[in-house]
Amino acid sequence: MESKEFLALRKRLNKTQSQMAQLLGSSLKAIHSYEQGWRKIPVHAERQILFLASRLTGGEKGRKPCWTIKKCPTERKKQCPAWEFHSGTLCWFINGTICDGGVQKDWHEKMKICRSCEVLGSFFTTP
């Protein structure tokens, strides 16, 4: 996640830097650093801010599960944690999902795929 995305999502959540620091369990100085681009945004902060944004925008309402959108075959679904935990609209949040035919090696690799996927969709689109 880039600093501009982080800032836009914080504003979408209608939180001050202080409030965001509290929500993320971090310091005000860290939030300043993320938004200025002085410090890389850690995975746990990126995941949490995206999760909060997804809940703000209505979360599951009217959203199709990933396996429907991606037309996953039954065998792939049975191996995927998103299917196992009935989390087809939160697949981007769960490590170990089977996207593009395989499990991604890490969060950054996974998010490259998720950013272009309709399931995550509007959570990355900043106003």
Whether the predicted pLDDT of 26 surpasses 70: yes
Percent of the chain with pLDDT over 70: 90
Report how far residue 114's alpha carbon sits from residue 127's, in angstroms, rounded to the nearest whole number.
19
The residue range of the domain holding 70 is 66-121
CB atoms within 10 A of CB 109: 12
What pTM was estimated for this model as a whole?
A: 0.78
Confidence category of residue 92, pLDDT binned at 50, 70, 90:
confident
pLDDT band at 40 (very low <50, low <70, confident <90, very high): very high
Q: Is residue 4 packed enough to be buried (19+ CB in 10 Å), middle (13-18) or exposed (0-12)?
A: exposed
Judge whether 61 lies within some domain: no
Banded model confidence at residue 126, pLDDT cuts 50, 70, 90:
very low
Same domain, 115 and 84: yes
State whether 39 and 77 are in the same domain: no
The pLDDT assigned to 60 comes to 58
Residue 56, pLDDT above cutoff 90:
no
